[in-house]
Each structure stands twice: as C-alpha cells, then as structure tokens.
Amino acid sequence: MYRDNDFVYEAIASLEETIGVPIVIDSIRKIYDVVIQINNETFYCVAKKNAKNANYGIIMSGLKDINYTRNNIVIADYLTKNTADELKNNGINYLDASGNAFIKTKNLYIYVEGRKAKINKKTNQTRAFQEAGLKLLLLLISNPETLQFSYRELAEKTGIALGSVSNIFKELEESHYLLKTKNKRVLKNQVEIIERWVIAYNELLKPRNFRKKMRAIGNDFSIKNIINNSYIKLYLGGEPGGELLTGYLKSKDYIIYSDEEISKVAKELKLVPDETGNIEVYTKFWTNNFYLKNEHTAPPLVVYADLLGTGNNRNIETAKIILENGL
C-alpha cells in the first residue's frame, strides 16, 4: 500500500464494526492497494485519497486499470453524498473512512449511509494547490522542459510572483512531489499530483474564472463557428476541447476560454446571455507564451479536468483518451 493511506485501514475497521463481520486483509498486490475478504468473498480495493471534493468523474478517472470481472471496492477518505449516490447508481462498490459503504455481489449486499464524515480540512489547502500553485503546476505538467527553468523564467511564463514560485517549489519538495538533484528537478507521484490538480481546479480556480453562461442565436452553432472566427482569440475546453483533441466526442455543451471582452465574444459568435444556456465563457488564465499542443484548445490538462468535472460517462472516457495521449 502506498504512503499515507492509513484511511484505508480506518475504513475497513469502521465497516467491520458496523456490520459485525470480521474482514480479513488478505494481501497487497500490484494495481490494487489492498485485497480483503468479507464472508469468504474476495474484494480488490483501490484507494482514493484527497477525495473530499472529487465527483464521480474524478473518482472514475483513476480506475482505468481495474479488472471489472472481479469484485472491486473504491476506498476513499471521504465521499460526498452525491458522489456516493453516483457510484451506487453505476454499480461501483465503495467504502469511506467513516464506514459508509455500498458493496453488492451475487451473494452479499452491504449498504451503510449517514455515518459522520471525517474530513481532513487541510486537504488541498497548500500553496501548491491554490491559485498560483495550480498555474505553476499546469505549466510544469504541460511543458515538462520548464521544470528545469529558473524561478524568474517560471514567474514570467505563469504571471505569478517570483517569491510564490520559490515557496511552491519548496512545498512540493517537502510533500515528496519534487526531487532535486545537482543537475535537474524531477516531478514525482504525478498521478497523485494530477488528481489533486483536477480536484482543486474544479473547486477553486475554474469558478474564479467564470464569466458568463450563454446560448447561441439560431441552431447552427458549432466548433467550426468558434475556430473560424478571425477577430478574436478563443480556446476550447470541456466537450469541444475533447472533441478536437481526440475526435471521440460530439459536443453538446461548450466551454470557451478567452481574454476578450464578453461583448466581443457574444457579437462575434452570435451569443446572448442565458442562465440555462449550454455555452460557458471563462477567462483564460495561462499566459500567451504557454506552448499549446492545439492552437484552438485549452491545455490538455484543463480540458481533461473540465471533462471529469461533468461526471458524464462519455466525457470520462474522452478524458481517459486525453490522459493516455499525454497531457
């Protein structure tokens, strides 16, 4: 079991106490964090830390290696009721540190809800997963060569203060996310970094950059309308970003990032404000000297986070393709 997963044992102990049935911790194996037995049935468990603000999409994004022909359980430090309901409705067994659980097989049914949540209030409260840190990590993950840049160069490329860059690097090192040698810096535990980035982005940075919900005038709105305009610079996130990056998705809802005045965006794309509209406009939060893999989309990590944030199964599949192709 990888580091800092004590909550897995807490969850197992809480469930054992609640159901009054001994749970045997069988072994720890590759891919799975722990294997347990309940009533002589074997379950292969995957731990999901920092799940406080994770929705169904974010939880499911990390389960691509699971063998669904086996009995599986997602063990999280904390799950919101909405996320737990989504997992249950999609037939995904879960257990959290408080002992809330849904475990269903042919011969076993366990459903526990209402146990008081044990929330780590410090989750994602560090500088690295606040606004400045999220911008810096976006650059380091998207353009890996920048990991070797000077602090001053990184400050210029992200638009954050030089002192903040220094503090964030120090914190990443203390958190065992960064290894410094004589000649280079190396990001460690990138899977965990990306998971935490996606959660913090959807919870913190994305809402701060929201500008307006809109709808198109007429029925001919499409990605082509957006990328063929010649007067303003726009970047696609969410479903249209995923469609452009993978060719796998047909967009229904649109996310647009731009520095342009909202009135110019509306005029050029023939949009009107609508609180129930399917087009959301956000401020672009990366700098103009950021290298983009596709000139018409937001950085793939942003598109990935947008898609997971929806909790839609088709969008989750598209997000996995983006991750597999490299962020």
Using CB atoms within 10 Å of the CB of residue 111, give its burial: 0 to 12 exposed, 13 to 18 middle, 19+ buried. Answer: exposed
Confidence class for position 2, pLDDT limits 50, 70, 90: very low
The closest of 309, 306, 302, 304 to 319, measured between CA atoms, is 304
pLDDT recorded at residue 181: 87
- Which residue ranges make up each domain of the chain? 6-112, 127-193, 209-325
| H helix intervals, 148-236 | 151-158, 162-174, 190-200, 206-208, 223-227
pLDDT at residue 61 is higher than 70: yes
Residue 121 has pLDDT above 50, yes or no: no
Query: What digits encode the pLDDT tens for the residues 64-83?
Result: 666 666 789 999 988 989 89
- Write down the pLDDT at residue 122: 47
pLDDT given at position 124: 45
Q: Which residues are 186's β-sheet partners?
A: 179
Across residues 152-173, what is the average pLDDT?
94
Torsion sign over Cα 159, 162, 163, 168? positive
Task: State the burial class of residue 232 (Cβ atoms within 10 Å of its Cβ: 0-12, 13-18, 19+).
Answer: middle
pLDDT the model gives residue 6: 80
Q: What is the mean pLDDT of residues 26-49?
A: 83
CA atoms in the 13 A half-sphere facing the CB of 138:
32
| Mean pLDDT of all residues in 7-33 | 84
Q: In this structure, which CATH number among 2.60.120, 3.40.50, 3.40.1350, 3.30.300 belongs to the domain 6-112?
A: 3.40.1350
- Render pLDDT for 231-288 as a digit per residue (tens, 0 to 9): 899 999 999 999 999 998 999 999 999 999 999 999 999 999 999 999 999 999 999 8
Better-predicted residue by pLDDT, 45 or 27: 45
Rounded Cα distance between 79 and 97, Å, is 9
Query: Is 219 or 129 the better-scoring residue by pLDDT?
Result: 129
Q: What is the pLDDT of residues 194-218, one digit of tens each?
A: 999 999 999 999 999 999 999 999 8
Q: What is the percentage of the chain residues whose pLDDT exceeds 90?
A: 66
Tens digit of each residue's pLDDT (9 = 90 or more) over 90-107: 899 999 998 999 999 999
pLDDT at position 30: 63
> pLDDT-based confidence at 31, cuts 50/70/90?
low
**Model pTM?**
0.82
Average pLDDT value for the chain: 89
pLDDT given for residue 125 in this prediction:
57
pLDDT of residue 186: 94
CB count within 10 Å of CB 290 equals 19
Q: Quick one: fold of 127-193?
A: Arc Repressor Mutant, subunit A (1.10.10)
**pLDDT of 3 over the 50 cut:** no
